[in-house]
Structure 1
Amino acid sequence: MPIRIQRRRTKGWRKPEGAVIVTRPSRFGNPFTFAMAYELGYADRGDTEQARRAVQGAFRSWLSGNRLMWQSEEGDAARRRVLDGLPELRGKNLACYCPLPVPGEPDLCHAVVLLDLANRTP
């Protein structure tokens, strides 16, 4: 089963062969931000775990077709680009800057959502 890898900015770090970068500037980046979560009251300012839960939830909901967080044709087109690209992620490890969870804790990165959707049985 593919996994999520923590992408690093340290000198010498290289993306493992076959992994796909899914950070924000990529086609698969999460458009929802901590700032949005704080501004809209989905997370208390400074509570990064709460903000991670909020933006991961917003991403999952948005990909399932919910327009509440991004009500525009631009948002619909961005969603379509992500969903149309899911076959490219099937069977691949995904790399994002989000920290890896402590063992036993949930992984609150949007890459987990992508892994789930891309690797579901068709």
Structure 2
Amino acid sequence: MLWTSTLLPPEVQAGLSASEWPAMPEPPALLPSPSPLDAEAVLLIDVRSYAEFMAGHVAGARSLPLPRLADDIVHLAPDPDQPIALYCASGHRAEQALGLLQRLGYQAACNAGTPVLLARRLGRALESGL
């Protein structure tokens, strides 16, 4: 086994094909109930680095890396009541971004998890480049 294979998920290490992988859990609702997710009204913000964004992002998402979020969010969402879905590679940076936005008064923001899960939930494609 190569040392790099230890970095791969157990399903890949075991040699399972993608169709044999265990089902991924559904992400939590993106916005508080009872209002359903309106995919057109939600501002999708990718808080990963610009290079990660360019490698693949949810269609319609905007790149706003976590280190720039506090300074630049007012340009993308001047209304603090704007529904915002934050995502990143694992959900960790999105959770940090969520805490920051809540401290800035953005109460309709949520951690939407990863790009793959969010794209699947919204029925959107993943795009690379601009």
TM-score by length of 1: 0.27
Point out which structure has higher relative CO (alpha carbons under 8 A, 6+ apart). 1
More strand by share: 2
Larger radius of gyration: 2
